[in-house]
Copies of this chain bind each other. A is one copy, B any other.
Amino acid sequence: MKRKLVSIILLLIPVLVFSQSPKKSVEKWGVYEVTLKGPSTGNPFVGLELSAVFTNGKETFEPDGFYDGNGIFKIRFMPDKEGTWTYVTHSNNDKLNGIKGSFFCTPPSDNDHGPVKVSDTYNFSYADGTRFIPFGTTIYEWCFSPDSIRKETIATMKHSPFNKARMLVLPPFNKRYLKGPYKLDIFPFEGTPPKNWNYARFNPAFFQRIENGIKQLNEIGVQADVILLNPYDGGWGFENVDLATDKRLIKYCVARFAAYRNVWWSLSNENSFIESLTDKDWDQLFKLVQRKDPYHHLRSIHNGDRIYHYTEPWVTHVSLQNYNASKEPGVVPLLRDIYRKPIILDEINYEGNINSRWGQLTGQQMTHRFWTTYVGGGYATHGESYKTSRWISNGGGLIGTSPARIAFLKKIVDAAPALNPIDQAYILNLAGEPGNYYLKYFGKQAPKQWKFELPHKNLKDGMRFKVEIIDTWNMTITQVNKIFEVKKLDNYYFIDKENRSVKLPGKPYMALRITRIE
């Protein structure tokens, strides 16, 4: 009811302020684009400043504009309130300065929940309050695959459990990674391959390709984890640019992409492998993104060997590459305590059979790592690197056995309250909401029974619970044909009042879902 009232008020205000109705409209969290004709001589990528101040009378945003080639300049804006917005441009070029306009922001469409933000310290939600639970995958260079493969990628994503995709801006294009059948046909800078680039001039068509990718992911509800820099020179010389070029590239990306609500910023993949950039340089680059992005999209960085200090205030969440964190229980809870931010394990090795050992997980190992991560209170990112499936590089189709199991896990997690670790100092692999919901994962252990015993928090004698046995690999959920009623054992634990246990099949990768019955 409250929201409706606000909408009505917002609808009334513009009528009073503007005599003529705005010409254009865009939905809340959609992209409003101002297109301007400007100079095409000289180098409009360097030295020409352009921005616009957008306001609805209460709030003000000032996104940068960018040069899109052929004398065309654009300023993109993502309104976060319904109603009328006005704008005025600012530029050191007279032709582009002082241009005014307005538009109307309509309610969001059904699948538009706004950008994703951190919520409750360790979790995420969309701007409209809807929970967002990341289930990531990796399609580094999918934007540079042929059109048919890009279409296939979107179709695959749509029917997968994945709602976040890690993708590179600068393509190494199989020079360092899996050798693929495709040739790179588009480049970020003006010039000619392999290395004859004018780093001071961007190639707008290249960035249009990426923003089309971002848009396509948005249409199917997938977050685009846009990786701005990377250490994979790929023979093109994109790694060995100077800090000024890095900054110009980042500013250009922020100006072009920030208005897309599904954008997350990843400053780099394996950042420490770019040897010319120190942690202080990365601090600067982070602050640049923070300053330039008016919407404060999520910001993180993915480490190589040296782990960036994710505690820095400009980092919104952890995007860690550490395989042990998903292999062993207890690590993700510790990472939560260390960083007090959401923990995303953004590289946990890939399912596949390539020669590199980072791409040799079985589907079972990948599934195990996902379970360990989520029951630890974190989020994981999938990737697939079979010799016959270059998903992590090119996209296309998936042939692995883990995606179906990750979809099974996702169903369970989506139906659960937030998975916060419970009594993690003493108990491994237990998460949920004390007193109401417990998800217990046994990992590589293969117990034949589990003594019904829960940590005391929020429990009282007489509370009743149902128990389901989950086979994480065979994707079955079997309800135990008993109701368990708890009684206090000591200062730490409650047990079943008849001291009963739950029978288990003596296999690895089993889990329990324990739910309170009202």
Interface-side segment among A110-118, A332-340, A377-385: A332-340
8 Å CB interface, A324-375 against B: 324-325, 327-331, 333-334, 337-338, 340, 355, 357
Which of A18-26, A54-62, A248-256, A306-314 has 4 or more CB atoms under 8 Å from chain B?
A306-314
Given contact pairs A328-B328, A328-B331, A337 touches B322 in the complex (Cβ within 8 A): yes
- A424 interface residue, CB < 8 Å from B? yes
Nearest B residue (CB) for A338: B307
Tallying the copies of this chain within the complex gives 2
Contact status B338-A338, CB under 8 Å: yes
Is A177 an interface position by the 8 A CB rule? no
Number of A residues whose C-beta is below 8 Å from B?
27
Q: Which residues of B contact A309 (CB under 8 A)?
A: 311
Docked pose: A332 CA to B102 CA in angstroms: 57
Tell me the bound Cα distance from A328 to B337 in angstroms.
17
Decide yes or no whether A450 CB sits under 8 A from chain B.
no
Q: Quick check: A426 and B357 within 8 Å, CB to CB?
A: yes
Chain A residues 252 to 291 lying within 8 A of chain B, measured CB to CB, are none
Interface status of A182 (Cβ within 8 A of chain B): no
**Among candidates B307, B334, B357, residue contacting A324 with C-beta atoms closer than 8 Å:** B334
Q: Which chain B residue has the least Cβ–Cβ distance from A425?
A: B323
Residue of B nearest to A279 (CB): B340
Please measure, in the bound complex, the distance between the C-alpha atom of A36 and the C-alpha atom of B424, giving whole angstroms: 54
Given the interface contacts A311-B311, A338-B307, does A324 sit within 8 Å of B428 by beta carbon?
A: yes
Chain B residues whose C-beta falls within 8 Å of the C-beta of A337 in the assembled complex: 305-307, 322
A357–B322 alpha-carbon span in the complex (Å) = 31
Proximity bits, A134-154, B CB within 8 Å = 1, else 0? 000000000000000000000
Chain B residue at smallest Cβ distance from A428: B324
- Identity of the chain B residue whose Cβ is nearest the Cβ of A321 in the assembled complex: B425
Which residues of the partner chain B approach A311 to less than 8 Å between Cβ atoms? 309, 311
CB-contact partner of A322 in B307, B334, B355, B492, under 8 A = B334
Q: How far is the CB of A340 from chain B (nearest CB, A)?
A: 8
Cβ of A425: which chain B residues have Cβ within 8 Å of it? Answer: 322-324
Which residues on A are within 8 Å of B, measured CB to CB? 305-307, 309, 311, 322-325, 327-331, 333-334, 337-338, 340, 355, 357, 424-426, 428, 491-492
5 new A-B contacts, CB < 8 A, other than A324-B331, A324-B425, are A306-B337, A324-B330, A324-B333, A331-B331, A357-B426
Closest 6 CB pairs of A and B: A324-B330, A328-B328, A307-B337, A309-B311, A307-B338, A328-B330
